[in-house]
Structure 1
Amino acid sequence: MELGMRKKLLLSEIVRNLNAYLLGSDKLISKFGNLSSATDKPQQQLTYVISAKYLKSFNTSNIGACIIHESLKELCIKEKSYIVTSESPEHMFYTIFMECYQNGNYETLSSTRDSSTIIAPSAVIHDSVVIGKNCKIMDNVVILPNTIIGDRVIIKPNTVIGGDGFQVKNLEGKRKVIPHVGGVKIMDDVEIGSSVCIDKGLFGEFTTIHNETKIDNLVHIAHSTVIGQSCTIAAGSSIAGAVTVGNNVWIGVNCSINQLLNIGDYSLVGTGSVVIKSVLPHKKVFGSPAKTIGLVCKCRADIISSDEQLVCSQCDTRYAFIEDHRLVEVANF
């Protein structure tokens, strides 16, 4: 799910007043994004690159169009569409995006609120917020536009959901925090502690917290991150932008997880860890930078080596390694 532009723009329209020209076929654009942005409309996405390495990644992607510097023109292929400029592609990209934002060219949600939900008098619920059944929203909670709250969700005091993330760019000679046009989706049976901050998606995507995940106090979850089902995130942890956390993941107190990483199912991040590389499923990591120190069963107990087999120390589930050092249950091997 994502929020797009109210009016799609042709690439030929976009370049009309720019120091740029169109190379390749004209296309309708309904959203902006980085190469890593999640979208269900890749062919309608405009992105940008600043090096040959990333242009090659764009050329093999299913993203529709890209802004490039003219020095990279020789690497373009006929199947793709490009906006070619002698200026900074990044600056041009964010200038176009800001103009669309300032023109109000972005979708918003229609507000709904189930009567069974309890909302404290001091909570602030903005327009364009959807709230499900039997939720409890406590004192001084702020829920900003384009937020979806599922059923039986608990949000404790002083939490802010749906604010802009922290994306700073130089535009028109000034450093600016880029406005975010996506949203936040909190699914059923999630519990969110006090003074938590969950930022909305940057380019129309939704920061998403899946069913039955429990979040402790003073946690920050940045823009466009996706947290899986039944995760536990302890106090003081910070998860940067566009991180994907799998199901049944445990993140300990005061952990930091770098942007764009994948944290695999059933993994465990130990207290105070700084994660700068993706973590495979069932791995236990710890330290700064975090390193693998063991393996974790789906029941949360340690996996140990016994009689040349990998077996859970509590539930006796057996595991085996497959390619890329991934761990699977033997029954599924």
Structure 2
Amino acid sequence: MELGIREKLPLSEIARNFNAYLMGTDRQISKFGNLSSVTDKPQQQLTYVIAEKYLKSFNTSNIGACIVHESLKELCIKEKSYIITSENPEQLFYTIFLNHYQSGHFKTLSSTRDSSTIIAPSAVIHNSVVIGKDCLIMDNVVIMPNTIIGDRVTIKPNTVIGGDGFQVKTLEGRRKVIPHVGGVKIMNDVEIGSSVCIDKGLFGEFTTIHNETKIDNLVHIAHSAVIGESCTIAAGSSIAGAVTVGNNVWIGVNCSINQLLNIGDYSLVGTGSVVIKSVLPHKKVFGSPAKTIGLVCKCRADIISSEEQLVCSQCNNRYAFVEGQLVEVS
């Protein structure tokens, strides 16, 4: 699910309106994004590149259209579509994005609220918010537009759901925090502690918290992150933009996870760790920077080597490495 542009825009029209020109096939654009953005409509996405290596990445991606500086046009290929500009492509991209944001061109949700949900009188629920059954929303919670909350969700005092993330760009000589046009989706049976901030997606995607994940106090989850099922995120941790956390992951107190990383299923991030590279499933990592210090079973006990086999120290589940990945074996 994404919140794109209300009506598709011809790429040729975008180019003409911003003193650039189209190279390649004209396309209907329904969303914006960068090369790492997750979308189910890549052929309708407009992105940008600022260097040759990124243009090569775009050319081999499934994204349809790109803003490119005229000095790189010889590297453009006929299968793709380009807006060719003499300006800085990144600044032009965000200028176009802000223009459509200020014109109200992006979709929003229709508000609904189940009567079984309990909402404290001091909570602030904005328009364009969907709330399911049997939720508890406590004192001074703020829920911003384009938020979807499932069933049996608890949100504790002073938490903010759906604010803008921290995407800072220099446009027209001024540093600006870019407004976000996506949302937040919180699935069923999630519990969110006090003074938590969960930012909405940047380009129309949803920051997502999946079923039965539990989030402690003072946690920050940045724009476009995806948190899997049955995760535990302890107090003070910070998860940066576009991070993907798998299922049944444990993140200890005061951890920091850098942007764009993947944290594999059943992994464990130890207290105070700074994660700067992706973590494979079942790995236990610790430190600053975080390094692998062991393996973790589904039951969260240590996996140990016994008689040339990998065995859980508690439940006796057996594991083996297959093509570099740890898998459970019968």
TM-score category of the 2 structures, normalised to the smaller one:
over 0.9
Q: What pairs up with 1:121-136 in 2 under 5 angstroms?
A: 121-136=121-136
Q: What pairs up with 1:99-110 in 2 under 5 angstroms?
A: 99-110=99-110
Instruction: Name the counterpart of 1:72.
Output: 72
Instruction: Name the counterpart of 2:168.
Output: 168
Instruction: Name the counterpart of 1:182.
Output: 182
Instruction: Return structure 1 stretches of 4+ with deviation > 6 angstroms.
Output: none
What is the CA–CA distance in structure 2 between the aligned matches of 1:206 and 1:151, rounded to whole Å?
Answer: 18
Instruction: Name the counterpart of 2:300.
Output: 300
* Alpha-carbon offset, residue 17 of structure 1: 2.7
Instruction: Name the counterpart of 2:196.
Output: 196
Gaps of 5+ in 2: none
**Residue aligned with 2:127, SS:** coil
Cα offsets for 1:272-319 (capped at 9, x unmatched): 000000000000000000000000000100000011111100111111
What is the CA–CA distance in structure 2 between the aligned matches of 1:16 and 1:68, rounded to whole Å?
Answer: 15
What is the CA–CA distance in structure 1 between the aligned matches of 2:206 and 2:159, rounded to whole Å?
Answer: 18
* Alpha-carbon offset, residue 54 of structure 1: 1.1
**Residue aligned with 1:73, SS:** helix
* Equivalent AA in structure 2 for residue 58 of structure 1: F
Instruction: Name the counterpart of 1:216.
Output: 216
Cα offsets for 1:17-46 (capped at 9, x unmatched): 323211100000000001111111111000
**Residue aligned with 2:247, SS:** coil
What is the CA–CA distance in structure 1 between the aligned matches of 2:11 and 2:118, rounded to whole Å?
Answer: 47
What is the CA–CA distance in structure 1 between the aligned matches of 2:118 and 2:18, rounded to whole Å?
Answer: 51
Q: What pairs up with 1:282-301 in 2 under 5 angstroms?
A: 282-301=282-301
TM-score (norm 2): 0.99
* Equivalent AA in structure 2 for residue 213 of structure 1: T
* Alpha-carbon offset, residue 257 of structure 1: 0.1
Cα offsets for 1:156-194 (capped at 9, x unmatched): 000000000000001111110000000000000000000
* Alpha-carbon offset, residue 232 of structure 1: 0.1
Q: What pairs up with 1:1-333 in 2 under 5 angstroms?
A: 1-323=1-323, 325-331=324-330
Identity of aligned residues (%): 88
Task: Provide the aligned length of Structure 1 versus Structure 2.
Answer: 330
**Residue aligned with 1:50, SS:** coil
* Equivalent AA in structure 2 for residue 327 of structure 1: L
* Equivalent AA in structure 1 for residue 214 of structure 2: K
**Residue aligned with 2:17, SS:** coil
What is the CA–CA distance in structure 2 between the aligned matches of 1:102 and 1:3, rounded to whole Å?
Answer: 15
**Residue aligned with 1:37, SS:** coil
RMSD over equivalenced CA pairs, Å? 0.6
* Equivalent AA in structure 2 for residue 138 of structure 1: M
* Alpha-carbon offset, residue 243 of structure 1: 0.2
**Residue aligned with 1:16, SS:** helix
TM-score (norm 1): 0.98
What is the CA–CA distance in structure 2 between the aligned matches of 1:55 and 1:329, rounded to whole Å?
Answer: 40
Cα offsets for 1:64-116 (capped at 9, x unmatched): 10001112112111100011111100000000000000000010000000000
Cα offsets for 1:182-212 (capped at 9, x unmatched): 0000000000000000000000000000000
Gaps of 5+ in 1: none
**Residue aligned with 2:98, SS:** helix
What is the CA–CA distance in structure 2 between the aligned matches of 1:320 and 1:72, rounded to whole Å?
Answer: 47
What is the CA–CA distance in structure 1 between the aligned matches of 2:124 and 2:165, rounded to whole Å?
Answer: 19
* Equivalent AA in structure 1 for residue 149 of structure 2: I
Cα offsets for 1:129-152 (capped at 9, x unmatched): 000000000000000000000000
What is the CA–CA distance in structure 2 between the aligned matches of 1:4 and 1:193, rounded to whole Å?
Answer: 30
* Alpha-carbon offset, residue 326 of structure 1: 1.2
Cα offsets for 1:42-64 (capped at 9, x unmatched): 11000001111111111111111
